[in-house]
Structure 1
Amino acid sequence: MVNWAQMYDCHGDVGRVPELLALAELEDDAEVWDELGYRLILEHDLVFPASFAALPRLVRLASRSARARGLAGAIVRCAAGGHGCDDLLAGCAEAIVEFREVLDRHLRSGPTDYIAVFRDLIAVEGHYHWSAVLGDFSDDFYQVACPHCAVEVTIAIGGYGRYSAIRDWNLGDVDRCDLRPASPERLSGIGRWMHETAVRDGKAVLADGITHLFGQAECPRCASVLNIADEYSASNRPLM
């Protein structure tokens, strides 16, 4: 049983969120959902005790409400931040397992919001840094530091090409080198899971982009070879 007297929202209130949840369970009202989002997630992706207290109820609604699914996903994506609610997050473990099943089932249906749901599912798996940046590979760019010479390398995966380069703000991406995609059979961990999910759902462009993201790049400055995903993760994986 949630003690809502201690579950303050983004504005310091403790009573309004449970009232809004009760209304949302009765009727899919846009104004109710807008206020819930306004109270559960502050700008800059900040969450509060009420956010995690609300999560199990949002998950229960997620299979029949796109708004509940989206708000629950947004809260999970914020779970890596410095919210000071680790005990409340731990108490949501069963709800998060249930949410994973809801999201995976929705992905299999081929939704129009596939990438957004895919990113939520990545967050549920605990890989918040990929959830925050992964796109559809139509126009994706990642910044990594070369581990050998420390120069900032731009990684492009999309309609402009699949290459590493040095970004010059006057000349654009210069000294381009083609990426070396990973073989799907050699992928492991989150990269393998992401690729297999995209292939399962018939998302060929997404699957191909993932092989490049988890492949290798040549540093245009020193010509050393780096693992893109390893270097990006090392710099961007949140401290939990």
Structure 2
Amino acid sequence: MVNWAEVYDCRFDTDRVPELLERVESEDDADTWKELGYRLVLEHDLVSAASFVALPRLVRLASGSASARRLAGEILERAAGHHGCDDLLVDCADAVSEFRELLDRYLQSRPADYLAAFRALLAAEEQFHWAAVLGDFTDDFYRVDCPHCAVEVTIAIGDYGRYSTVRDWHLGDVSRRDLRPVSPEALSGVGRWMYRTAARDGEDMLSEGIAHLFGDAECPSCACVFNVADEYTSANRPVLR
């Protein structure tokens, strides 16, 4: 039994979240969901103890409620942050596993909010760095340091091209180099899972973008060739405690 009197939300209150959860369990009210989100997820990627205590109940609602699914995903996307609630997150293991299976089924229905659900699934798989930045590849940019000369390289994947460049404040993209996408057969690990999931669900632009993201880039400064995903992951993947 949860002692809500000891569980603070993001606004440092203890009484509102349990009351709001009871409301949404009986009625899918937009204003109630708005306040619940306000109390469970803060700006700047912050969550609270109440966020993780509420997570199992949100997951139970997620199969029939888009609001519950969205809010549970937002909480998980912030689970690697400095929230001081690691023990509560561990207690959510069963709920996270259930949410992972629910999201995978939901993605196969090819929903309108596919990308949001895909990012939530990435978070459920503890791929927090990709959950935080993955876009729809219409105008995506990733910044990495060249592993050879340490210059900052901008990786562009979108409608305007798929290339590596050194971005200059005045000159724009300098010395573009075409990206070298990986073949689906050569993918492994999380890259293969991401690609196969998107391809399975007919998300061609997403799967093609993933092939470029997990492919190679050439540094415009020193011509070093490096793997984009490896360098981005090395610099951005959080270390779980």
TM-score category of the 2 structures, normalised to the smaller one: over 0.9
**Equivalent residue number for residue 69 of structure 2:** 69
| TM-aligned CA deviation for residue 12 of structure 1 | 1.4
**Equivalent residue number for residue 12 of structure 2:** 12
**Equivalent residue number for residue 213 of structure 1:** 213
**Equivalent residue number for residue 86 of structure 1:** 86
1:111 aligns with 2:127: no
Structure 1: runs of 5 or more not aligned: none
**Equivalent residue number for residue 48 of structure 1:** 48
The one-letter code of the counterpart of 1:208 is E
SS of aligned partner of 1:226: strand
Residue deviations 1:44-93 (CA, integer Å, cap 9, x gap) = 12111000000000000000000000000000001010000000000000
**Equivalent residue number for residue 30 of structure 1:** 30
SS of aligned partner of 1:163: strand
| TM-aligned CA deviation for residue 102 of structure 1 | 1.2
**Equivalent residue number for residue 2 of structure 1:** 2
**Equivalent residue number for residue 189 of structure 2:** 189
Residue deviations 1:138-191 (CA, integer Å, cap 9, x gap) = 111100000100000010111111110110111211101111111111111110
TM-score, structure 2 as length reference: 0.98
Distance 1:61 1:2 in 2: 18
Structure 2: runs of 5 or more not aligned: none
RMSD (Å) for aligned C-alpha atoms: 0.7
TM-score, structure 1 as length reference: 0.99
Distance 1:43 1:218 in 2: 36
Q: Which runs of 4+ in 1 moved over 6 A?
A: none
Distance 2:92 2:139 in 1: 35
1:162-201 mapped onto 2 (5 Å cutoff)? 162-201=162-201
The one-letter code of the counterpart of 1:207 is S
| TM-aligned CA deviation for residue 4 of structure 1 | 1.3
Residue deviations 1:81-130 (CA, integer Å, cap 9, x gap) = 00000000000000000101111111111111111110110110000000
| TM-aligned CA deviation for residue 3 of structure 1 | 2.0
SS of aligned partner of 2:79: helix
- Provide the identity percentage: 69
The one-letter code of the counterpart of 1:238 is P
Number of aligned residue pairs? 240
Residue deviations 1:183-237 (CA, integer Å, cap 9, x gap) = 1111111100000001100111111110110000000000011110010011111
Distance 1:215 1:180 in 2: 6
Distance 2:146 2:210 in 1: 20
Distance 2:11 2:154 in 1: 39
The one-letter code of the counterpart of 1:174 is V
